[in-house]
């Protein structure tokens, strides 16, 4: 394999640090041409000293989005939130393969991103563990035929709580995820199941699936990362311990594989459980699916509201159930429009945030 040059956006976050770990353990295979961090200057400086990329800067100091990717083979988009979409679109515009860990790029910009990627002949390789699992089950072909995509969900820390208990859970409770170690925003999104709703929308755009072909099922052990059902009734699954390093590395080595993780010891793991997703207790899941079906700017409104509400919850300013209420309020107050450009989405995002702040702060 020839040395792969990576432009990493979001290098100091939870995923970004694990991308650096992968590069560190395969120095002959990978190098960084660009490192962009959100706001962690010290973290960025340390990575810059270690990897000597051509460009290293904070998001606020970017000269031009397209210049970030010009020397790279792969654009690894690991920054969080709506802000990631601009990078994804810029990388596609530059004709680069995109290793996509930023969910919002597809949740908010699915239509724009897939259209642009098709036009430019650009490959989008999933990094989200569920979508990487689907990718592997589909023989690493995003256009392979299937009957159903089955996403697994750990269910988060509150799976069996009733709504009375949910009323009083705190950010600290929600941040204690039973199986996955992740950033704060996505850990809260896992507790509300908003994250699983996002992943259904991601799967729709990545694999050209109808919503009726995508199902989420609770699997508390997080060993089976997702499954594909085929026309003849055969079902394939990908198994592994919960560790993002595997999907991260595979997105960089695909279609090859390199040593990465310890294999699952089946006898040690013992029984694996699956159960129905309790949608009725976690309204964020249904809100995400409904916004995904509505399309246009609806998912962007949903996401903008969620980003503000989750921040307020993390700061202890609102309760857990108020996250869904805020999203629902924003979606009912702002009508969805056609999402024909980044500008339209960006304006919808700003409006959603403003409305969410108004609903939270009164």
Binding site for Mg ion (CB under 5 A): 128-130
- For Mg ion, the closer of residues 32 and 198 by Cβ is 198
> Where do we find the tokens 């311990």?
241
Count of Cβ atoms closer than 10 Å to residue 182 Cβ: 18
- For Mg ion, the closer of residues 97 and 129 by Cβ is 129
- For Mg ion, the closer of residues 189 and 349 by Cβ is 189
When CB distances to Mg ion are compared, the closest residue is: 128
- For Mg ion, the closer of residues 90 and 113 by Cβ is 113
Cis peptide before 255 (omega within 30 of 0): yes
List, in sequence order, every residue forming a beta bridge with 237; answer none if it has no partner. 227
- For Mg ion, the closer of residues 130 and 355 by Cβ is 130
Structure tokens at 150: 């089955």
Q: Outline where the chain has alpha helix (H).
A: 14-25, 41-51, 84-93, 104-107, 110-120, 129-137, 163-166, 171-174, 184-192, 194-207, 245-253, 266-269, 283-294, 298-314, 321-333, 342-361
- For Mg ion, the closer of residues 34 and 129 by Cβ is 129
Which are the contacts of 172, defined by CB distance < 8 A and separation ≥ 6?
none
CB of 105 to Mg ion, least distance (A): 14
Is residue 146 within 8 A of residue 138, CB to CB? The reply is yes
> Where do we find the tokens 């800067």?
57
CB of 249 to Mg ion, least distance (A): 16
């Amino acid at each position: 394999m020839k040395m792969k040059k990576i432009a990493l956006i979001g290098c100091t976050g939870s995923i970004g640090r694990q991308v650096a770990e992968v590069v560190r353990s395969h120095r002959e295979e990978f190098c960084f041409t660009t490192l962009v961090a959100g706001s962690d200057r010290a973290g960025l400086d340390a990575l810059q000293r270690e990897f000597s990329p051509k460009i290293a800067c904070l998001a606020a100091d970017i000269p031009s989005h397209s210049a970030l990717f010009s020397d790279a083979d792969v654009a690894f988009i690991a920054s969080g939130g709506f802000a990631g979409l601009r990078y994804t679109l810029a990388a596609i515009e530059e004709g680069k393969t995109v290793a996509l860990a930023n969910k919002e790029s597809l949740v908010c910009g699915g239509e724009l991103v897939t259209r642009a990627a098709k036009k430019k002949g650009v490959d989008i390789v999933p990094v989200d563990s569920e979508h990487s699992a689907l990718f592997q089950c589909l023989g690493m072909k995003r256009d392979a035929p299937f009957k159903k995509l089955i996403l697994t969900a750990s269910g988060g820390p509150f799976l069996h709580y009733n709504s009375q208990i949910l009323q009083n859970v705190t950010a600290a409770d929600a941040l204690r995820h039973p199986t996955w170690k992740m950033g704060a925003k996505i850990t809260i999104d896992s507790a509300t199941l908003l994250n699983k709703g996002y992943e259904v929308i991601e799967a729709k755009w990545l694999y050209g699936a109808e919503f009726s072909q995508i199902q989420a099922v609770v699997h508390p052990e997080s060993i089976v990362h997702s499954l594909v059902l085929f026309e003849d009734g055969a079902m394939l699954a990908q198994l592994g311990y919960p560790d993002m390093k595997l999907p991260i590395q595979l997105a960089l080595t695909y279609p090859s594989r390199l040593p990465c993780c310890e294999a699952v010891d089946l006898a040690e793991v013992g029984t694996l459980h699956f159960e129905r997703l309790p949608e009725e207790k976690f309204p964020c899941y249904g809100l995400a699916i409904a916004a995904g079906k509505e399309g246009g700017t609806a998912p962007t409104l949903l996401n903008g509201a969620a980003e503000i509400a989750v921040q307020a919850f993390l700061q202890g300013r609102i309760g857990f159930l108020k996250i869904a209420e805020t999203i629902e309020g924003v979606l009912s107050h702002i009508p969805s429009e056609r999402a024909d450009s980044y500008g339209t989405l960006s304006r919808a995002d700003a409006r959603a945030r403003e409305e969410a702040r108004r609903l939270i702060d009164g």
